[in-house]
Amino acid sequence: MRAAQSLYENGYITYMRTDSVTLSKEAIFAARDCVKSSFGSEYLADSPKQYATTSAGAQEAHECIRPAGSTFRNPADLAGVLPADQLKLYTLIWQRTLASQMADATGFTATVKLDALAGSFGTANFQASGTVIEFAGFMKVFGGFSEDEQSKALPPMANGDVLKSLQVSADGHETQPPARYTEASLVKTLEAKEIGRPSTYASIISTIIDRGYVYERGRALIPSWLAFAVIKLLESNFPTYVDYAFTADMENGLDRIAHGEEAGKDWLYKFYFGDDNAAAAGDSAAAGDFAMREGLQKQVDQLGEIDAREINTIDIGGG
């Protein structure tokens, strides 16, 4: 985010705290002109492309993140001008913007079966499935396949071709447990669960680090003992307020306030004192509705004494 902020402040990209996917007419013209001059008109989409967000909580007050200006600067011209991390980020933004106005890639999926003589073992049979690309289209701007896609790419082949083995290697595959969150993967999860907005993702992460809930080990975010204690305290006494449904409902409430569909003071009153209308929804209401129905004040009044020892005790194993 620091690299993006610096690029924005120095006029290389547009405002980056947005979840819009919309390009202005100026940007579409600039992108199409850049595609034509950099790769040729055959890689240009037949007509300008526009995209719409699929996120229900998207805030589209700004354009999508794109190179700034009516003429896009080529990353090759910025080598030596921008620091390495900023150049890498600008290149990614430039590539994605151009790709949005390029022609589709064409190809087909194929299954290849190979027979090879294995000496006294007879014939060894090998099979692979992958993609054969006939026209690169938008992939041209990325230089072809990504590293992950490259492993699934197949060269053009015809039935009966005799292939020469250049290298043979055995790759082992093991099931891995889920990796620890990094800042990037945590942002993806926040977005998927509709927690926060692009403008608040950076502050959410900095807050949990500054308060000592997590610490960084390399790129990984590691939860501290304090985090476990706080989560246990909240889940034991205020479970509805740490439920994903409540958080998403709260974000929707803030959006309604921002759009003038609900008064901020009224929303806060219901949050603290409870909402009689929500009570009519019954026990089947979602977590967000339940929190509004009860109100924070009532739930606090019902609290008993909190046992600090219990909150700071975590069962390990089966005991």
Indicate which residues carry an active-site annotation. Answer: 15
Q: Which amino acid does the sequence have at 165?
A: S
Question: Pairing mode, if any, of strands 106-117 and 123-135?
Answer: antiparallel
Query: N- to C-terminal Cα distance for the chain?
Result: 43
Question: What's the gap between Cα 41 and its chain centre?
Answer: 32
What are the respective helix, strand and coil percentages of the chain, to the nearest 5?
45, 15, 40
Helix ranges (H only) for 168-263 are 183-192, 198-210, 225-237, 244-258
Per the structure block, which two tokens stand in for 257? Answer: 């306030």
At 140, is the secondary structure helix, strand, or coil? helix
φ, ψ of residue 274 in degrees (nearest 5): 100, 165
Cα gap 248→55, rounded to integer Å: 12
Query: What is the signed CA dihedral for 198, 200, 202, 208, rounded to 10 degrees?
Result: -140
The continuous run of DSSP H or E covering 292 comes out as: helix 287-294
